[in-house]
Chains A and B, each alone.
Chain A
Amino acid sequence: MFETGTMVGLMSEMLRLASSNRVEIPLVEPFLEMLPPPLSDLAVLPLWKPLFAALVVPGFATLGLLLLLLPWIERKLCARIQWRVGPKEIVSWLGGIIQLLADSLRFLFQEVIVNRDARRPYFVQFVLLSFIPALLPILFVAAGTIIAIRTEYSVHMMLALVCLFPVFILGMGWSSGNRFAFVGTVREAFMYFAYEVPLIFSVIAMVLIFGTGDPIKIMETGKLGIVLNPLAAFTFLIATAMATSRLPFEIPEADQELAFGPFIEYSGIAFGLAYVLAYEKLYVLSALFTTLFLGGGSGPAIPPLGELSGALWFLLKTLVVMIVFASLRAIYPRFRIDQALRAGWSSILAISLLAIVISAAEVMLWA
């Protein structure tokens, strides 16, 4: 049992901590001051930077919004390229922007079937566990200067967690007990080998140049990674397309061939979760791309937004990267697994090695 004094002391200690490291948003300051005393102190708590980063930007809320918007953007964009309209009638005047809300509600209320041949505990667990590698990297994403955990190794941590992804997808495919899921799982494993090494190499190349893995420091250098090392950017983009199963590398899922491969047996909300996995991964990798190659949250500051302006620029850049990936769906057919593997192990690997060489040369030149 705590004494009251200790509780108050703890509370005030927490508030002190929160206000010492809070997100500065001039726009909301007047509103905070208008609040009565106990509330105005407590209102600081959600603005505590690590919490704000995890819950609002670039964390949970942003992710949720993006997950609802990005598939819609993708469907709408592909529809425009394909001379049609895409989702619309649901709210006609907004162009059907809440289409994904309807889809997710439908998935939420649909029956979840665990098929007879599935390995039941794993089948259910893997789809939930897969949120660990999906959500943890977001703690290391810096939206401008807003970051949950700031270390020298943020970039490394993000990469390491992202590379955990395929393990869970393999588990999902294996536990489904379906022939197509099996083929899809094997393909996923092969693709993993094809893209992982170039992905890591291209990140290493950038970390070499910047000399740090801290996203805020990288941003503060004021250098655009894509100009410093375009080859690394190129390999990173290709590896991202492979890692997130975007066309032309949508090989493990291949809905015309394998009917969504590893996810074939998932239904209802379980599929809803599996369906957004690829988008979450896309978000993390796009954020990493923005951090490393597009200067993170750098951009003209908007004074009333304070620290949020950096976050805004960061999100805009990330969104653009994601839209580029989304539009690939309408442009490319699908490669075959052996072609993707050959590309991954030969040309892309070579280019990523070259990118490291370039980085090393640049570092030596400047040193």
Chain B
Amino acid sequence: MVAERAKDRNIRIVQHGVFAPLRRWGTRWSLWPVHFVTSCCGVELAHSGACGYDMERLGALNYGIARQSNFIIIEGTITRKMARALRLVYEQMPDPKFVMLIGACGERGGIFWNSYNITLPHEIVPVDFFIPGCPVTPEGLIRGIRAVQEKIEGRGRTTIEFKRAELPKEEGEPRLVPSSPKYLATTPTIRVDIPGEGELPERLKPLAEEEGIRVTVTGKNRVAIRTAAERLEEVAKRLKELGFDHVKSVNIIDVPHERRMIIEYVISSYSVRELMPVLVTLFAYVPRAEPGLRSLKHVWDSADYCERELQDLFGVRFEGNPWQRRFILAPEVEAPLRKDFKLAEESYVLGEAPLAPKIEYPPEPLSYYLPVPDEVFEEATRNDEFILPIGPHHTGSGHLRVILRVKGDIIVDAIPDPGYVHRSMEKLAETKLYVQNIPLFERLSIADPININLGYVRTLELALGVEPPERAKLIRTMLAELSRVGAFLYDAGIFSLFTGHSTGFMYTFSIREMLLEIFVRATGSRCTPSYIIPGGVRWDVSDDVLKFARNFTSAALRRLSKFESIFVNNPVLMERTKGVGVLTKEQAVDTGIVGPFLRASGVEYDVRIVEPYEAYADFDWDVPVADDGDCLARFLLRLEEVRQSLNIVRQAVEALERTRGPVIAEEVLGEFKDAPDIRGIFFRTLGNLVLPRGEFTCLTEAARGTLLFTVLSDGESNVPYRVRVVTPSWMNLRGFMESVKGQRLADFWAIYGSFGYFPPEADR
């Protein structure tokens, strides 16, 4: 293995030769980490670089280019696609070079240990230092830099001997182990259209009477429409005429025991106000042997990227979709989400089996493939265009690759190549208990953890019919809004960095640091609280925390005004963002973008208003809407939203100080109803959770837009049969690529920043 051979080679380089002391000293104090944000720990890396922790104190200047830096910090998961990039970046760096790996998932897989798409980075490049944690704290990261410095000096320990600890075996209930769904071939075990309570919307009534279309009301504002695969297109067109103008999710359910697959489009409306809360699941069965159907891209443009993704994940063919190549997966993985693609199962006993699945590494850098057909290159050459691939390792791209076709300075076309952080959440969720999926999904976006957590838990609550108590709702609302502020601050920081303004980045991250302190005090964790559980929250928040949160609202506003004066009101920023990357209202609806970016284009849609959840209806707040649809509008709208969020937080704190009561529903506690909170009885109450049979779809307004969770249960297993997550960033990708076209090259980064595109969230 390459990595084995090269072990400690770089340390030897600095420690030999006539000038060894100078060489060691210079290298030690000048470890420039290459800007290689690989996964969610990147948020903590950003914190280490920002004020508060300030990595530069140690001479570690976060730097953009592989050729000129000498230090890679691998932030967590390296997916198969990213493994190629990692090798390439490592090879590009001049000797001596050092690698530090942070995060549990880089070491032995961490929470993603049985994923089909992750690799072990220390088998790809030699790693000098490991730091565990999920995610690591900035303190840990800085300690790691110190340790690498000492290793260069020759003072560090070269080996660590692990001791095996014998833990006393506790007698008691056996620990719960996820059980695979039983594939019963008798009756359809998975049913999408189980009738529920609710009324059929007026507009859909004519459709219900037609032959060959079965309309079922599955819940309040939830309608399932079943039709034959051949008629799907026709029904879709009629639904579009009725006002259903965008797709919220495209989903496939593999039902091997029925030898077919269910393909469903979850659609809704932005243009008709009374249809906004209605979610229609349009579905059809296709044979499993040769799954394929006509793409609905020309009906709903927003379905495009979801279809491309499902082609990879299920091996389904959407005829008529322009993209018939790999989209988010590396070429070596085939249809992993099919039920016959088995992963190692979760268990609590260390066995003989290897901890991670067998991985084949890219043999030579030449095999780094570009997912673009050769014709694109030929055409570009004919048209006197220039192809500029940006990412996945690029100072201003995060972990997304975009292939830009540039004519002069104008971007003609942008071809996205996502999937560099695809950690296969949807498949992993099928191997974990329902409650174990709470921390799993939180890793989607550790810049916005509470909202993701809330979205998943609300889906479980919808299925279980559990209503959290009043105080729990208030706590959830408060934390969700704080999380929204946190995500904005992260995105604003990245935005200012992308426009070349590092001060804006520092200012927002200093506010974020205070915000994380609230999370730590309330939930015990900076980025991954896993605090919200079905039926409430884990424990109550104390009055001290509430006081801190209230103080934070005013402190944040004060610091935000400084941020505004140096960044937002900067004339250069105005020049750069005004009228750039415009998405008109029609385009916004067509491309199906969500959240604040949709509202910046003039669509008044917010899940918190359309389908109020938690305690949002009790508070007094506004939803800002803009008409311009350009970068500036998107940014300023989110800034205004933060003010509203802080407003909600203040009201929630006041309400929390007034109310006292339980923080967890009695149904959940069951026999332990005297317990003040869930600590100590968590697994006994929630471990063996089994949802009723059916499909449950729940919308939540996360920081970057509508978050959709669809949980499908077979009614008998303690793991979900299928979970479909559609994250806001994923839906925004289409709009992002649309708005880039026709802009100048430098605008790409301004638009990127204004969309707050967060690849770990998008790739799932």
Task: Give the B-binding residues of A (Cβ under 8 A).
Answer: 75, 78-79, 81-90, 96, 99, 101-113, 179-180, 182-183, 247-248, 250-251, 254-257, 259-260, 263-268, 271, 329-339
How many Å lie between the Cα of A248 and that of B503 in the bound state? 13
How many Å lie between the Cα of A82 and that of B394 in the bound state? 24
Query: Is A254 a contact partner of B51 (Cβ separation < 8 A)?
Result: no
| A100 (CB) vs chain B CBs: closest residue | B30
How many Å lie between the Cα of A330 and that of B389 in the bound state? 29
Query: Is B67 a contact partner of A333 (Cβ separation < 8 A)?
Result: no
Interface-facing stretch out of B318-326, B412-420, B428-436, B564-572: B564-572
Chain A residue contacts of B70, Cβ below 8 A:
106, 110
Chain A residue contacts of B214, Cβ below 8 A:
none
Check if B22 is an interface residue, CB within 8 A of chain A: yes
CB < 8 Å: which of A83, A102, A333 contacts B499? A333
Given the known inter-chain contacts A102-B59, A108-B26, A335-B575, please indicate yes or no for A330 contacting B500, CB distance below 8 A.
no
30 A-B contacts (beta carbon < 8 Å): A79-B54, A79-B56, A82-B503, A83-B506, A83-B507, A84-B56, A99-B30, A102-B59, A105-B22, A106-B30, A111-B95, A113-B92, A179-B386, A183-B388, A256-B396, A256-B499, A256-B749, A257-B745, A259-B64, A259-B65, A259-B394, A264-B65, A267-B94, A331-B570, A333-B500, A333-B501, A334-B576, A337-B409, A337-B746, A339-B575
Query: Is B56 a contact partner of A332 (Cβ separation < 8 A)?
Result: no
Chain B residue contacts of A268, Cβ below 8 A:
94
CB < 8 Å: which of B26, B56, B396, B504 contacts A87? B56
| B746 (CB) vs chain A CBs: closest residue | A336
Query: Is A256 a contact partner of B500 (Cβ separation < 8 A)?
Result: yes
Task: Give the A-binding residues of B (Cβ under 8 A).
Answer: 14, 19, 22-23, 25-30, 50-52, 54, 56-59, 61, 64-65, 67-68, 70, 92-96, 386-389, 394-396, 409, 496-504, 506-507, 510, 566-567, 570, 572-573, 575-576, 744-749
CB < 8 Å: which of A86, A104, A110, A254 contacts B746? A254
How many Å lie between the Cα of A339 and that of B57 in the bound state? 36
Query: Is B22 a contact partner of A332 (Cβ separation < 8 A)?
Result: no
CB < 8 Å: which of B51, B59, B497, B744 contacts A89? B59
Query: Is B576 a contact partner of A78 (Cβ separation < 8 A)?
Result: no
Chain A residue contacts of B61, Cβ below 8 A:
75
Q: Tell me how many residue pairs across A and B have CB atoms closer than 8 Å.
A: 180
3 tightest A-B contacts by CB?
A105-B26, A334-B500, A84-B51
Chain A residue contacts of B64, Cβ below 8 A:
255-256, 259-260
How many Å lie between the Cα of A112 and that of B28 in the bound state? 19
How many Å lie between the Cα of A24 and that of B283 in the bound state? 93
Chain A residue contacts of B746, Cβ below 8 A:
251, 254, 257, 334, 336-337
Query: Is B57 a contact partner of A331 (Cβ separation < 8 A)?
Result: no
Query: Is B409 a contact partner of A247 (Cβ separation < 8 A)?
Result: no
How many Å lie between the Cα of A87 and that of B60 in the bound state? 8
**Chain B nearest CB: distance from A341 CB in Å?**
10
List 18 additional contacts besides A182-B386, A333-B570; criterion CB under 8 Å: A79-B56, A82-B51, A83-B510, A109-B14, A109-B22, A110-B95, A111-B96, A248-B572, A251-B746, A254-B500, A255-B395, A256-B396, A256-B500, A260-B65, A267-B93, A271-B68, A333-B499, A336-B747
How many Å lie between the Cα of A267 and that of B94 in the bound state? 7
Chain B residue contacts of A255, Cβ below 8 A:
64-65, 395
CB < 8 Å: which of B27, B65, B503 contacts A106? B27
**Chain B nearest CB: distance from A172 CB in Å?**
13
Chain B residue contacts of A101, Cβ below 8 A:
26
Given the known inter-chain contacts A99-B29, A102-B25, A256-B64, please indicate yes or no for A330 contacting B394, CB distance below 8 A.
no
How many Å lie between the Cα of A84 and that of B55 in the bound state? 10
| A105 (CB) vs chain B CBs: closest residue | B26
How many Å lie between the Cα of A86 and that of B58 in the bound state? 9
CB < 8 Å: which of B57, B388, B396 contacts A85? B57
- For A108, A268, A332, the residue with the greatest tally of chain B CB atoms inside 10 Å of its CB is A332
Chain B residue contacts of A265, Cβ below 8 A:
67
**Chain A nearest CB: distance from B629 CB in Å?**
19
**Chain B nearest CB: distance from A297 CB in Å?**
34
**Chain B nearest CB: distance from A14 CB in Å?**
37
Chain B residue contacts of A338, Cβ below 8 A:
409, 744
Query: Is B94 a contact partner of A111 (Cβ separation < 8 A)?
Result: yes
Query: Is B56 a contact partner of A86 (Cβ separation < 8 A)?
Result: yes
Query: Is B749 a contact partner of A257 (Cβ separation < 8 A)?
Result: yes
Query: Is B65 a contact partner of A333 (Cβ separation < 8 A)?
Result: no
